[in-house]
Structure 1
Amino acid sequence: MPIAKLFAPAVAALVFSVPVMAQQMGGGPPSIDDQVNQLDEMVDLDEGQKEEISSLMTQMQDEIGAKEQEAQELQQQLGEQVQPDYDEAAIRENAERLGDLTAEMTADAIIMQSQIEGVFTQEQRDQLDEAVAQRQEQMQQMREQMQQQQQQQQGG
């Protein structure tokens, strides 16, 4: 199996889980510098790699940001279109555009992951794969602990 197929989910998990976890903790999304520094701690980037990854992430954030805003507006419009005298054509048009935006953002994210993968050495890819596997295991353990606590509260 090519490394790209193994690696893409790892970078996706890292790039997308970090901002989500930060938002859940109430800190808002981490800055690109924070994300690059986190990668640096995991795989020991050199200065050139840091700059290149930061540039790629900034470019992608700009591109995806506008699409995310449009998607949110479309979702709001679709929500407002739920009424007895609905306009089926408008609903379908908005839903189709929302689907297109989602596909574009997915493609953009995968392209960015591929570009970032090209910045890493093989050794760094291996380190990142290991770090992501550990993070996923920790997340699974946390989920299991939370489920156990909920079961204890419900049963007790």
Structure 2
Amino acid sequence: MKLVNILVTIALSLGMASAATAQQQMQAPPQGDQVDQLDQLLDLDENQQQEIRRLLDEAQSQMAPKEQEVQALQARLGEHVGPDFDEAAIRQDASRLGELTGELTAESVLLQSRVEAVFTEEQRERLEQEIAQQQQQMRDLQDQMQQQGGQPPAQ
């Protein structure tokens, strides 16, 4: 289960558009930046960098048209709202949106798996440690915010 969390975090750190990010219409950062970030963290060799860039380019070319269709469907669904709605059209568009979301999610998981396969065992362990540190920092920050929120303001 830890590996699943790691892979999800990798996808987020790579900025790849998953189904959720596609629905939010977020833009992925340039792929060179993604590979550079991984390189700084994991000390990738040149072959690893090239392979990851290839994987990212391939995934982006497969996902971009689907992301555009998701955006178009979301806009069209918004246009269906009103007193003279067409239930069949809404259901058809929503069904297609669900299919696309599933396809984007599958592509995202496949990309995560393919990128993870490029790493050495040592790099995977280093990444797992880094992710664990970041998660602990987030928990600490959340705890700190909760503690501050429960106290009356200083006078």
TM range (shorter): 0.7 to 0.9
- Residue 10 of structure 1 is matched in structure 2 by 6
What is residue 54 of structure 1 aligned with on the other side? 53
Distance 2:132 2:94 in 1: 36
| Aligned equivalents of 2:13, 2:150: Cα separation in 1 | 26
Q: TM-score, normalised by structure 1?
A: 0.81
| Alignment of 1:35 onto 2:34 | yes
Gaps of at least 5 residues in structure 1 are: 21-27
Percent identity reads 46
Distance 1:136 1:72, change over 3 A: same
Kindly state the Cα deviation for residue 29 of structure 1 after the two structures are TM-superposed.
3.9
Is the alpha carbon distance of 1:77 and 1:148 closer, same or farther for their aligned partners in structure 2, counting shifts above 3 Å? farther
- For 1:76, the equivalent position in structure 2 comes to 75
1:136 alignment counterpart? 135
C-alpha separation in 2, matches of 1:115 and 1:80: 38
Measure the CA separation in 1 of the matches of 2:41 and 2:28.
19
Distance 2:14 2:146 in 1: 22
Q: How many residues align?
A: 143
Q: Does 1:114 align with 2:110?
A: no
Alpha-carbon distance in 1 for matches of 2:149, 2:72: 36
- The RMSD of aligned alpha carbons is 2.0
Report deviation, 1:112.
Answer: 0.8
Q: Please give the secondary structure, in 2, of the residue aligned with 1:85.
A: coil
The normalised TM-score by structure 2 is 0.81
When residues 29 and 110 of structure 1 are mapped into structure 2, their CA distance, relative to the original with a 3 A threshold, is: closer
Equivalent residues of 2:7, 2:112 under 8 A apart: yes
Going from structure 1 to structure 2, the CA distance change for 1:17 and 1:52 (only over 3 Å counts) comes to: closer
Three-state SS of the structure 1 residue aligned to 2:15 is helix
